[in-house]
Amino acid sequence: MSDLNTIKLKVCGLRDNVMEVAALCPDFMGFIFYDKSPRYVGDAFVLGAKTTALRIGVFVDQPIDEVLEIHKKYKLDMVQLHGSESIDYCVELKAYDIKIIKVFAGNELPSQPIIDAYAPFIDYYLFDSKGKYEGGNGIAFDWTVLDQVKLTKPLFLSGGIDLDNVQNIKNLRGVEIYAIDVNSKFELTPGNKDIDKLKKLKSILKS
């Protein structure tokens, strides 16, 4: 069972109003460096955002050299691997002492052996729903299946989280949620976040 007061907040898919979101001081801010995403940050990445949030770069099956270059250029705190990156890929990236969030997206959870195999080479799991895009589809993840697996690393929960269902997280049994990852349900257009909704979400998490 998770206590909403202790769950951290990640706002992902940032591009058009980064400074406004930064002023809300989420725990994590996600920037998508995958050029096929409608939320691709491109040259709009803001280095000077004054916030305590950790900055996460989101990548999808991109060459490791490209990930390393962007990680160094923008002084990212973590990388989020949102594709089908193999264990060997994570091993190679981890050798550079980079913190890794590995995403598993789909309507079914990966098997326990797969979860265990990735564990030594990542820092966090992220479970998300599967849709047309690599993230940010607004499709709800079936949270009730989470008690079927044992996790040895902290969990980010994503997939259609909104103001109406976020309260349901505290009723989950058999799993601790480290952070929630919100995106499409809290934006006006792709990459342009709805500040009023984010304020209401923060209020719920603190209440």
pLDDT tens-digit map of 160-192: 889 998 988 877 777 889 999 999 999 999 999
pLDDT > 90? residue 65: yes
Cα torsion 33, 34, 37, 42 to 10°: value is 40
Query: CB of 178 within 8 A of CB of 189?
Result: no
Residue partners of 24: CB distance under 8 A and separation at least 6: 11, 195, 198, 199, 202
The reported pLDDT for the residue numbered 206 is 84
How far are the Cα atoms of 35, 118, 191 from residue 50, in angstroms, in the given order? 26, 34, 19
What sections of 16-105 are H helices per DSSP? 18-22, 64-73, 87-94
Residue 139 banded pLDDT, cuts 50, 70, 90: low
DSSP state of 40: B
Q: What is the pLDDT of residues 5-58, one digit of tens each?
A: 789 999 999 999 999 999 999 999 999 999 999 999 987 666 555 678 999 999
Could you tell me if 49 and 24 are in contact, meaning their C-beta atoms sit under 8 angstroms apart? no
Q: 193: which DSSP letter?
A: E
pLDDT digits (tens, 9 = 90+) for 101-128: 999 987 678 899 999 999 999 999 998 8
Mention every residue, 6+ apart, whose C-beta is less than 8 A from residue 4. 166, 167, 169, 170, 204, 205, 207
Q: Which two tokens stand for residue 76?
A: 């990212």
Name the E strands within 14-147. 28-32, 54-59, 78-81, 100-105, 124-128
Q: Are 53 and 26 in contact (CB under 8 A)?
A: yes
Contact criterion met (CB below 8 Å) for 18 and 195? no
Q: Give the count of domains, the chain.
A: 1
What is the model's pLDDT at position 196? 98
pTM: 0.90
CATH number at residue 9: 3.20.20.70
- Domain span at residue 130 reads 4-206
- 180: which residues sit within 8 A by CB, 6+ positions away? 7, 8, 9, 10, 156, 157, 158, 161, 166, 169
